[in-house]
Amino acid sequence: MGCGKSTLGKKLATKLGFDFIDLDQVLEDQMASSIGEYFAAHGEDAFRALESKVLKEHNYPSDCVVATGGGAPCYFDNMEWMNNNGTTLYIEMPPIALAKRLEKGKEKRPLLRDMNEEQLISFIESKLAERARFYKSAALSIDGINLTPDKVLAELPQIF
């Protein structure tokens, strides 16, 4: 959350001449509601099951860049599926940097809306610790500070 998956994904896809797919947007289109509204109405378990189904059953073009939600790799066998079906990238950022990015858009994120800076940093640290084993199994981990598509492309040959 807040590391720039969608922003970087769009720029990387443009640079490569690939399609860009934001899995959260695909989910919202299919649900005909926001993720927050779906969470509130059906709960996290139902959302994660739908997210996994859409991740695995979406009709992806042959050349595309996909941005998933931050939780997607951490449920079911999603990360294993992503690693088997593409090149995965973990954008690493320190909790303080993520908190600064998220502070500006907190009103759009129900979980974060009422958190002060200290609570936000603590929440992020907890989520990163909880999800680290999934994120660290990505094919490529890269520092998210000042990350550009060119920096990602410079790293990609190293993993093939």
In tens, the pLDDT along 86-143 reads 999 999 999 999 999 999 888 777 678 899 999 999 999 999 999 999 999 999 999 9
How many Å apart are CA 30 and CA 150, to the nearest integer? 33
pLDDT at 159: 62
Average pLDDT (153-160) is 78
**Three-state SS sequence of 28-80:** HHHHCCCHHHHHHHHCHHHHHHHHHHHHHHCCCCCCEEEECCCCHHHCCCHHH
Contact 69, 9 (CB under 8 A): no
Burial class (CB in 10 A: 0-12, 13-18, 19+), 127: middle
In a domain, 158, yes or no: no
pTM of the model: 0.93
Smallest CA-to-CA distance from 5 within 108, 112, 102, 137 is with: 102
In a domain, 83, yes or no: yes
Can you give the residue range of the structural domain that contains 121? 5-146
Contact 67, 21 (CB under 8 A): yes
In a domain, 129, yes or no: yes
| Statement: residue 33 has pLDDT above 80 | yes
Number of domains composing the chain: 1
In a domain, 22, yes or no: yes
Q: Which residues pair with 21 in a beta bridge?
A: 66
- Total H helices, total E strands in the chain: 8, 4
In a domain, 156, yes or no: no
Smallest CA-to-CA distance from 86 within 16, 4, 2 is with: 16
- φ, ψ (nearest 5 deg) of residue 18: -100, 165
In a domain, 154, yes or no: no
In a domain, 9, yes or no: yes
Report angle CA 134, 136, 142 to the nearest 5 degrees.
130
